[in-house]
Every structure is written in structure tokens, then in C-alpha cells.
Amino acid sequence: MDSRRWWLRVGSLLVLASAMATGCTARGAEPPSPDGPMAAGKNAAVKALLDLPSGAPSTTWTPWPSAMRDARHSGMSASSGPTKGVVRWQRTLEAAVSSGPVIGADGTIYVASNGGVLHAVDATTGTDRWTYDSGRSGGGDLSVSPLVLPDHTIIWGTPKGELAALSAAGELLWTQELPGRPTSPVTVDGRRIYVGDTSGGISAVDVPSAGSRRLAWTLDVGSSSFASVVTDGTGRLYTTSGSSLVAVDDRGATGAVAWRADPGDGDSEVSAGLGTDGTVLLGTNGSFEWAYGRDGRLRWKAPRAITYSSPVVTGGGLAYVADHEGIVHVLDLRDGSAAATYRVTPGTQIWSSTVVDRDHRVYFGGQDGHAYGLDAIGKVLFNVDLGAPVDGYLALTADAALIVGARNGKLTSIQ
């Protein structure tokens, strides 16, 4: 048994960090006293989490190129995140911001509103560098992030049921019609893009150059889906459809369903998370998080409440799962045992996925309209009142800013 596994076995950390829902000023909210509710969390399990290899990813072509950072949904930054809770800037878009922001190589923030407009936002000032109007509004609480390719092309799934490719200057390069409304597109190599859609389809789109594209294949995996595709680049993809987890093999010119698993635990309204060891997670509206191996066999299940929050899985083998009880469960991917448990403002539902920095700080938004930052032992670093629920993904920039959108149309940069 390696030292990492021994530390994880020490026990689970339950932190009841009572973050006051009183909002904060531009200076940020003061965290609770370390001798207050946090004292009970000072045990070996805390040290276990801090001693783990971070599994922080190496730098990719941008700090945060896609939904939950990469095609596996690791949700982890290669750099440190914010600690003060200072609002650098805040602006209001034309409609709710359910879309998750992504970050370009030069720090530009790309984020869409439910008004059907994609914004390229200056990270320093929060002003628009350019906008692209799809001509159709929509989205509800479905979080659909754009994708930034290594050549700086931006791929956006529009409310019109198509992928739109735009240059770094905002020029429309091409569009590709899809069977339903696209979810967040992903890529591993920048040459083949995978995208799911709400009809239950998955498409593979090849991009030989910035101004061209070719639809390689489209596969119908079943009933409606709200999931983004996840993959590790080995040719195996995962999505959810109805209450099922579906494994799909990319055979180059075609896609084929490899297996389908349905635990009978309610519909899934979230994307899967994929570990570096091939373990894939399924979140449902039921009572458990489900983990499957590459062969489709159940590896473990872990109790939790209903989740609208897609799981993230770090390179170090930790799975972060948030639920309707306002709890973030941190699980050992290998067996589902608890490494840590975070809770702020009990009863506050968490719909956004967590994001994690290289030091295991945890960030998420709540349906109470607040954005939270916690350190690895659960101490509340900040609690910023955004004025409306947070439905979508969050992103971390290379200069330690958390970018988060809210249902009132506000886009906020927190440092």
C-alpha cells in the first residue's frame, strides 16, 4: 500500500464551515476565525489531503481551454487560484450567464449569455474586445462552454443547433449544423472535435485548418442528453443519455456504442468525469455517485444527494462531486472512499461544478447566489455575493482570478 493510499485511509474530513450569506464588499469577506467551527477539522485527514500529490496538469495551449478545463473534465488549474475574494471587475451581459467561461492564450475570456451572444472579454478591464450574435436566444440553466483550439480558433455551440468557429478577432470562419443543441465541445489534439447535443447525438468534426472543417461522423446514442462528451484521447468517449452512462468508440470514420450502463438511480443531467486510470464517473438525480471501469463494470458507488454538478477528476486521483445538500464530496477515485467533505451554508444547493487549483483550494457557486473559495482544509477564504444563482461552470485564469457567471447576467472576476 503506497503512502498516498495510507493517508487517504486515515479518515474522512467533515468541515462545517458556516459561511455567512451577507455578501462582501470589493475588499472581500473576512473568513471565520481558525479557532471557530474549523477547529474540529484539524486532524490527520486534513494532512492527508495536503500531502497528496496535487496531480496539477501541465500547462496546455491556454490556461482554461474548455469546460472544466480539459476533455477529461479534470477541473484543475496548473496555477494557484484566488485567496482574497476581491472583486476585480463585474459587468452585466444581455441575459443570464449559464455558459461556462473559457480562457484564451492571451488571457481573453470567452463566455456566452443566454441571449445568444458570445463575448470576448478583456481579462483586466472586463470590457468586450468583440461580440458575436448567433441570432437566437436560449439556454435555460444548461451550461455550454466554448472551446479554444491550439491555433486560437474559438468553437462555440450556439442556441441555433450548430457549431460556429470564430477567429481570435471574432470573424466567423464556418458553421456546422448538428442534430440538436450542442453541449460543450472538447478536443485532445486540436484536430478532431467531439461534441454532444441535446437530442442524444455525438458528432466528430475534423478541423484540418482554421478555415475548414469536415463532419467525420454522427452517432445517435439514445434519448435526450445534457452531457458534454469526455475523453482521454485513446479513442474512447463517454456521454450520458437519460439515466445511462454510454461508452462510445471512435473508429475514425464511424462511431459505435461500446457499452451502456444504467444503475437505475434516476436520470443524469450532468457530464461524466474521467480519471487517468480509465475510471469514469456518473452523477444522477438519485442517491449515489457511480464509478465504472473501461470495460463497463461497476467499480464502486458512493452516497450523496441529487447532483446537477458534473464531477471533476484531478490527475492525482481525487474526484470532486457537489450535490443538492450543499456538500462537496472529495473521493478517492480508486475505491470511492472519502478524502474530504466540504460544506458551506448547509442546505444551499450546488449546481456549478467545482474547480480546483494546484494547491487543492476549492471554488464553486451556489444557488444562494454566492461564489465560494475554500482552502484545502475547508477554511473559507471568501464568500462573494453575486446577487443571483450560479448555474454554470467556473474558470480559473493564469493570474489567479476566478471567473463566474450568474443568472442575473452578471459576469464577475474574483481575485
Segment 371-392, tens digit of pLDDT? 999 999 899 999 999 999 999 9
* Of 46-55, 75-84, 192-201, 279-288, the least confident: 46-55
259-270 average pLDDT score = 93
Residue 275 corresponds to which cell in the numbers above?
A: 480519471
Q: Could you tell me which residues are beta bridge partners of residue 338?
A: 331
Per-range mean pLDDT, top range of 208-217, 267-276, 380-389 = 380-389
The per-residue pLDDT for range 100-114, each reduced to its tens digit, is 999 999 999 999 999
- Kindly state the greatest CA–CA separation across the chain: 60
Q: pLDDT band for position 28 (50/70/90)?
A: very low
Residue 152 confidence (pLDDT):
96
Q: With a cut of 60, say whether residue 2 has pLDDT above it.
A: no
Residue 48 confidence (pLDDT):
65
189-200 average pLDDT score = 94
Q: With a cut of 60, say whether residue 224 has pLDDT above it.
A: yes
29-54 average pLDDT score = 46
Q: pLDDT band for position 27 (50/70/90)?
A: very low
Q: With a cut of 80, say whether residue 96 has pLDDT above it.
A: yes
Q: pLDDT band for position 40 (50/70/90)?
A: very low
Q: What's this model's pTM, rounded to 2 decimal places? A: 0.89
Q: With a cut of 50, say whether residue 26 has pLDDT above it.
A: no
Average model confidence (pLDDT) for the chain?
87
Q: pLDDT band for position 46 (50/70/90)?
A: low
- What is the phi/psi pair of residue 183, to 5°? -95, -165
Per-range mean pLDDT, top range of 45-54, 79-88, 265-274 = 79-88
Residue 47 confidence (pLDDT):
58
Question: Looking up cell 458534454, which residue turns up?
Answer: 228
Query: Which residues, 6+ apart, have CB-to-CB distance to 36 below 8 Å?
Result: none
* Of 5-19, 41-55, 284-298, the least confident: 5-19
* Of 137-146, 258-267, 317-326, the least confident: 137-146
- What residue spans define the domains of the chain? 3-414
Exposure of 102 by Cβ count < 10 A (0-12 exposed, 13-18 middle, 19+ buried)?
Answer: buried
d(CA 127, CA 119): 9
Q: Which CATH superfamily is domain 3-414 in?
A: YVTN repeat-like/Quinoprotein amine dehydrogenase (2.130.10.10)
d(CA 115, CA 93): 9
Q: Give percent of the chain with pLDDT exceeding 90.
A: 76
Q: Is the dihedral of CA 289, 291, 296, 298 positive or negative?
A: negative
The per-residue pLDDT for range 75-94, each reduced to its tens digit, is 999 999 999 999 999 999 99
184-207 average pLDDT score = 95
Residue 210 confidence (pLDDT):
79
